């Protein structure tokens, strides 16, 4: 008796009670694009996420099979019966658009999108529980796919040239693309930090082309010593068209693909070599550079170079600097399980921005990013200013879900609760407004300022303390708690008196904000008559220290 591919899969599932991998597998998730900017348009002229399935068996209508990105809901999307769109031929491919447009755009459009930050995708048998194939992918760069090295092969790789509905194969220009060493800083103490918040020597690479360039497999050479950029981290090695990328000379390759095992301490010549190892893409020579200044081309990719007293790593050397308003990142949630839903009733990561100013601030044109080395990662749209304007003393939530089709409050990246970074930058795409970094965040917990705009950050761990879109609470005295040598208060706790280093005008408040003591040009305060408890001692510059009277 002849068994069709469809019947054979059902037979394997029912007989073995296992995934169809226990029998001869004929269907494979073959290639994935989770961040489609300019790669391939669907039939509605939209750049949407997609996944490709490869069939090594007979003619098969995938109607009734399931696709999912949720291990707890394998039946998330059942492929409808539309043979023209859901039938795959032998040794051929079929593509499904993961765009959450299944109700309006056809049987080959799913009810979910793919996360550019990485997740697991499943192909499931019509029984709803037998997993035919699955793939877990790491963060994906725009217009880069993650696919099997060859159709149906067991090994996976990144593809610069995606192969939508075609055989998987990589095409590399071994002679390299046009790139420029654009700017160099040899002594960096406060210009730009990496993801580890370390200030290291750096070199900026400029891509003048009208297409993005992945510098994976290119070679950086400093005084004859080579470093080959790895090919397994495209989110770090892609340089978008007309954009810039920083390379760190910190001798710490454990920190990422763009951290070189090279030094700039005594370097006077740096080269970029093509993947063939011989073609010189660019050759740059420089002399002594003052600390915290840079040496760079006077125009991006230009012939002449100069000293920059205000370096512009990750941005144009001709940048017109536009400082941003003094808004604050106030609270961050990186694993939203059941806390608050967005406008599509989805539980997504979010960043809360607080406006401490007395006037409203339109954030249209500002940038949000999860990487200090890519400051212009997502620009807040200006199309609906009312939606992105924060009133004086107010808050605004931005959802980090990589779902740009869901509105102007949805960024093109997601957050990691295992530790990450978030920053807001001004309309020039470079000038830092505010930033925060965290190590770990549990589900439905947040990392936020102890009070709105306050310097001290804490974990909010319960539903009644997580405050999306509302106040984190107000310091009862409207002061920042600082601990520096200038304002060190001792002993703390104290029984009878507290002292500080230099004469100061001071005010002493209880935790309800009541003024209980004040003095001028003093170096101590007598607190013997005060009741036991916590107080704030506030100095003339409106900064103070929390103390305890025992």
pLDDT of residue 11: 38
- What is the number of helices (H) and of strands (E) in the chain? 5, 40
| Structure-block tokens of residue 532 | 């036991």
Domain of 445, CATH number, reads 2.60.40
Classify residue 292: in a domain, yes or no. yes
Residues in Cβ contact with 508 at an 8 Å cutoff, skipping those fewer than 6 apart: 515, 516, 517, 518, 525, 527, 535, 536, 537, 538
Chunked into runs of 10 residues, the chain (550 residues) has average pLDDT values of 36 37 79 90 91 95 95 95 93 94 89 88 95 92 92 93 89 91 95 91 96 94 92 91 95 92 84 96 94 96 96 95 94 91 91 95 97 94 96 95 88 87 96 91 88 86 78 65 57 88 81 75 90 80 73
**Is the same domain home to 285 and 140?**
no
Pairing assessment for the beta strands 145-148 and 543-549 based on DSSP bridges: unpaired
**Is the same domain home to 364 and 393?**
yes
pLDDT of residue 511: 61
How many Å apart are CA 195 and CA 236, to the nearest integer?
11
Task: Provide the b/e sequence for 91-106 (b: ≥16 CB within 10 Å).
Answer: ebbbbbbbbbbbeebb
Domain of 113, CATH number, reads 2.60.40.1260
CB 195 within 8 A of CB 372: yes
Burial of 304 (0-12, 13-18, 19+ CB in 10 A): exposed
**Is the same domain home to 106 and 241?**
no
Pairing assessment for the beta strands 180-185 and 77-78 based on DSSP bridges: unpaired
Domain of 513, CATH number, reads 2.60.40.3080
How many Å apart are CA 98 and CA 118, to the nearest integer?
14
Give residue for tokens 């002399």. Answer: 287
**Is the same domain home to 237 and 150?**
no
- What DSSP string describes 174-211? TT----EEEEEES--SSS---TTS----EEEEE--SSS
**Is the same domain home to 237 and 300?**
yes
Classify residue 167: in a domain, yes or no. no
Question: What is the phi-psi region of residue 485: left when phi exceeds 0, alpha when psi lies from -120 to 50, beta otherwise?
Answer: alpha
Select from 181, 178, 175, 137 the least CA-distant residue to 159: 137
pLDDT of residue 331: 95
How many Å apart are CA 218 and CA 226, to the nearest integer?
10
Classify residue 313: in a domain, yes or no. no
Classify residue 426: in a domain, yes or no. yes
pLDDT of residue 37: 86
**Is the same domain home to 453 and 512?**
no
Beta bridge partners of 249: 260
How many Å apart are CA 356 and CA 360, to the nearest integer?
9
Residue 494 DSSP class: B
CA angle, 167 then 36 then 442, to 5°: 115
CB 369 within 8 A of CB 375: yes
CB 453 within 8 A of CB 354: yes
Q: Which domain covers residue 484, as residue numbers?
A: 480-549
**Is the same domain home to 102 and 242?**
no
SS3 label, residue 470:
coil
Q: What's the per-residue H, E or C state across 387-438?
A: HHEECCCCEEEEEEECCHHHCCCEECCECCCCCEEEEEECCCCCCEEEEEEE
Residues in Cβ contact with 210 at an 8 Å cutoff, skipping those fewer than 6 apart: 241, 242
How many Å apart are CA 179 and CA 301, to the nearest integer?
8
Classify residue 188: in a domain, yes or no. yes
Classify residue 141: in a domain, yes or no. yes
CA angle, 484 then 485 then 489, to 5°: 85
How many Å apart are CA 64 and CA 326, to the nearest integer?
54
Residue finishing a domain among 430, 460, 490 = 460
**Is the same domain home to 444 and 524?**
no
CA distances from 302 to 221, 222, 306 (A): 21, 21, 11
pLDDT of residue 486: 47
Instruction: Report CA Rg, the chain.
Output: 28
| Structure-block tokens of residue 374 | 């890519």
Pairing assessment for the beta strands 259-260 and 361-362 based on DSSP bridges: unpaired
Classify residue 235: in a domain, yes or no. yes
**Is the same domain home to 236 and 142?**
no
pLDDT of residue 536: 78
CA angle, 138 then 144 then 149, to 5°: 75
CB 143 within 8 A of CB 162: yes
Total structural domains within the chain: 4
Classify residue 135: in a domain, yes or no. yes
**Is the same domain home to 228 and 284?**
yes
**Is the same domain home to 194 and 56?**
no
**Is the same domain home to 9 and 155?**
yes
């Amino acid at each position: 008796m002849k068994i069709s591919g469809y019947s054979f899969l059902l037979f394997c599932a029912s007989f073995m009670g296992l995934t169809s991998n226990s029998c001869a597998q004929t269907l494979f998730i073959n290639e994935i694009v989770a961040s489609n900017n300019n790669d391939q348009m669907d039939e509605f002229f939209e750049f949407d996420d997609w996944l490709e399935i490869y069939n090594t068996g007979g003619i098969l209508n995938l109607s009734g099979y399931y696709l999912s990105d949720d291990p707890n809901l394998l039946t998330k999307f059942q492929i409808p019966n539309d043979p023209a769109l859901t039938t795959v031929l032998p040794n051929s491919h079929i593509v499904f658009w993961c765009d959450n447009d299944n109700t309006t755009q056809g049987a080959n459009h799913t009810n979910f999108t793919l996360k550019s930050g990485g997740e697991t995708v499943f192909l499931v048998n019509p029984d709803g529980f037998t997993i035919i194939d699955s793939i877990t992918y790491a963060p994906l760069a725009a217009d880069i796919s993650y696919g099997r090295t060859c159709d149906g092969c067991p090994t996976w790789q990144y593809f610069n040239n995606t192969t939508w509905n075609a055989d998987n194969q990589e095409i590399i220009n071994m002679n390299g693309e046009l790139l420029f060493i654009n700017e160099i800083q040899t002594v960096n103490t406060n210009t730009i930090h990496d993801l580890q918040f370390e200030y290291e020597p750096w070199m900026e690479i400029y891509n003048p082309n009208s297409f993005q360039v992945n510098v994976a497999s290119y070679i950086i050479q400093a005084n004859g010593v080579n470093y080959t950029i790895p090919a397994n981290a495209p989110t770090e090695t892609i340089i978008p068209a007309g954009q810039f990328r920083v390379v760190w000379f910190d001798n710490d390759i454990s920190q990422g693909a763009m951290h070189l095992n090279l030094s700039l301490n005594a370097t006077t010549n740096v080269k970029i070599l093509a993947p063939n190892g011989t073609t010189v893409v660019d050759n740059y020579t420089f002399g002594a550079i003052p600390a915290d200044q840079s040496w760079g081309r006077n125009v991006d990719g230009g012939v002449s170079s100069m000293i920059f007293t205000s370096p512009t790593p990750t941005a144009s050397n001709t940048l017109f600097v536009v400082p941003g308003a003094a808004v604050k990142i106030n609270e961050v949630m990186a694993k939203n399980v059941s806390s608050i839903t967005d406008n599509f009733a989805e539980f997504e990561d979010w960043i809360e921005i607080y406006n401490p100013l007395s006037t409203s601030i339109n954030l249209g044109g500002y940038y949000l990013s999860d990487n200090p080395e890519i400051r212009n990662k997502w620009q807040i749209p200006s199309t609906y200013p009312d939606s992105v304007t924060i009133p004086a003393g107010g808050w605004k939530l931005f959802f980090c879900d990589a779902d740009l089709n869901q509105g102007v409050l949805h960024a093109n990246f997601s957050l990691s609760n295992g530790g990450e970074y978030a920053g807001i930058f001004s309309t020039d795409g470079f000038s830092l407004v505010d930033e925060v970094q965290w190590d770990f965040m549990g589900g439905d917990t947040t990392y936020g300022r102890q009070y709105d705009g306050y310097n001290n950050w804490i974990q909010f761990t319960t539903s009644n303390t997580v405050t999306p879109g509302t106040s984190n609470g107000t310091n009862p005295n409207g002061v920042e708690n600082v601990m520096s040598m200038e304002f060190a208060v001792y002993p703390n706790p104290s029984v009878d008196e507290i002292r500080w280093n230099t004469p100061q005008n001071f005010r002493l408040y209880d935790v309800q904000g009541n003024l209980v003591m004040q003095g001028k040009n003093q170096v101590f305060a007598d607190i013997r008559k005060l009741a036991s408890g916590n107080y704030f001692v506030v100095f003339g510059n409106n900064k103070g220290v929390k103390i305890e009277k025992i």
